[in-house]
Amino acid sequence: MTHTKCLAPGQMWSTHAWVFALILRVAVAQAPADQYRDRRLIMVRDQIEARGIKNQEVLAVMRIVPRELFVPESVRPQAYDDQALPIGFGQTISQPFVVGLMTELLDAKKNDRVLEIGTGSGYQAAILSRLVGEVYSIEIVPELARSAAETLRSLRFRNVTVREGDGYRGWPEKAPFDRIILTAAPPEIPQVLLEELKGGGTLVAPVGVGVQNLVVVQKSADGKTITRSVLPVRFVPMKKGTEQTGIGQGTFSLPGDDVKYKAKGMPMPKGSRSRHPRSTELGRAREYTRRMRQDGDLRSSRLLTISDARRI
Ligand code: SAH
């Protein structure tokens, strides 16, 4: 016996309308991610590869890290433009090419422990996170430290630890480091950071007041350093801790179920996670991550391999 289910014309229309609405909803929901992914690929091709960055792992990571989620919503449409962008508190996220160049110059290996001075938006830390073992990042502006830690956590960059503090003091509890990168410019490289660099290690930094140079310092096994200048650059100056009021030594620990804020001088204000403009966007960031995982775009594995790079 066959059962044929007949739908009245009205019923059929409502079923079609429902399916159509569902397809439309899915399409609309996916559009921004796809649009940003396309722009990201174009950015890497035209701004990074075209200017001579050859490290395939660096290029591959820059093709998958969603830069648009590290900038304030107001400048999100410019996230893939060939420029630095404001991230609040008078600070900037570096131009994509500069991030690519500094990451290539750092020449980090997959098990390296890397110290970054100047977390800012957390974008550079996210790029490093997929290339190395552990990233430790220090940010002097408490609000930026907190929001970067939250963004990194929401996007599951689990091997990054962000600390609110003064980079001039280094991070003695976690030293020595295989690689050190500064994304704010000191007048000269702080001695404490050179001491925290392992023998055989590399440090990359913009150095100087007014006219700055991007320099690469190689430290030999016997502790001697060789410095070479790569090109003139323009970064925000590296501030002394005394220039910043209310500076604490808080640590935002990642990974974890929650951002653990342990600042001594500055208790975590109630509801502060939703008070920062970017915190309200974290739900969207999580949704984005989930969707990219489904797409196979953002790997759940921590390290990206050359074979991943080929597949992208
Ligand atoms: N790496 C960042 C770019 C940050 S811009 C990114 O990917 O977005 C430089 C950052 O260095 C700013 O956020 C600034 O607040 C921070 N900074 C300046 N002086 C510092 C210091 N002494 N210690 C730690 N961070 C500092």
Tell me how far apart the alpha carbons of residues 168 and 187 are, in angstroms, rounded to a whole number.
11
Mean pLDDT to the nearest integer, 277-286 = 44
The confidence score (pLDDT) of residue 255 equals 41
247 pLDDT above the threshold of 50: no
Tens digits of residue pLDDT in 40-52: 999 999 999 999 9
Which of ligand 1's atoms lies nearest the C-alpha of 166? 23
CA distance 183 to 194: 15
Q: How much of the chain exceeds pLDDT 90, in percent? A: 65
CA triple 55-56-62, angle to 5 deg: 95
pTM of the model: 0.76
Confidence of residue 310 (pLDDT cuts 50, 70, 90): very low
* Residue from 307, 268, 295, 250 nearest 66 by CA: 295
pLDDT-derived band at 244 (thresholds 50, 70, 90) equals very low
Mutate which of 83, 130, 140, 157 for ligand 1? The one with the most ligand atoms within 8 Å of its CB, which is 140
When computed from its CA atoms, the radius of gyration of the chain, rounded to whole angstroms, is 22
Is 258 in a helix, a strand, or coil? coil
Best residue among 99, 106, 117 to mutate for probing ligand 1's pocket (most ligand atoms within 8 Å of CB) is 117
- Is pLDDT at 307 greater than 70 in this prediction? no
Q: Which atom of ligand 1 is nearest to the CA of 126?
A: 7
State the distance between the two ends of the chain, measured CA to CA, in whole angstroms. 52
The answer, yes or no, to whether any atom of ligand 1 lies below 6 A from the CB of 88, is no
Q: Is residue 129 in contact with ligand 1, taking CB distance under 6 Å?
A: no
C-beta of residue 136 within 8 angstroms of C-beta of residue 116: yes
Q: What is the pLDDT of residues 103-133, one digit of tens each?
A: 999 999 999 999 999 999 999 999 999 999 9
Q: Report which ligand 1 atom has the smallest distance to the Cα of 89.
A: 15
| Cβ of 167 below 6 Å from ligand 1 | yes
Query: What's residue 154's pLDDT?
Result: 97
| CATH of span 37-311 | 3.40.50.150
Residue extents of the structural domains in the chain: 37-311
Q: Could you give the CA distance from residue 15 to residue 7 in angstroms, rounded to a whole number?
A: 10
Mean pLDDT along residues 261-286: 37
pLDDT at residue 233, rounded to an integer: 95
User: What pLDDT shows up at residue 13?
Assistant: 57
pLDDT at 85 over 50: yes
* Distance in angstroms (rounded) separating the CA atoms of residues 309 and 49: 14
| pLDDT (tens digit per residue) in 131-190 | 999 999 999 999 999 999 999 999 999 999 999 999 999 999 999 999 999 999 999 999
Strands 225-233 and 134-139 come out as unpaired
Cis ω before 142 (30° cut-off from 0): no
Number of residues that make up the chain: 312
- Annotated catalytic residue 94: yes
Compute, in angstroms, the gap from residue 308 CA to the centroid of ligand 1: 31
Percentage, residues of the chain above pLDDT 70: 68
Q: What is the pLDDT of residue 17?
A: 72
Q: What's the mean pLDDT in 258-265?
A: 32
* Banded pLDDT at 16 (limits 50, 70, 90): confident
Does pLDDT of 95 surpass 90? yes
Higher pLDDT, 26 or 153: 153
Q: How much is the mean pLDDT over the chain? A: 79
The pLDDT score that the predictor gives to residue 218 is 98
pLDDT in tens, 213-227: 999 999 999 999 999
Specify the higher pLDDT residue, 10 or 179: 179
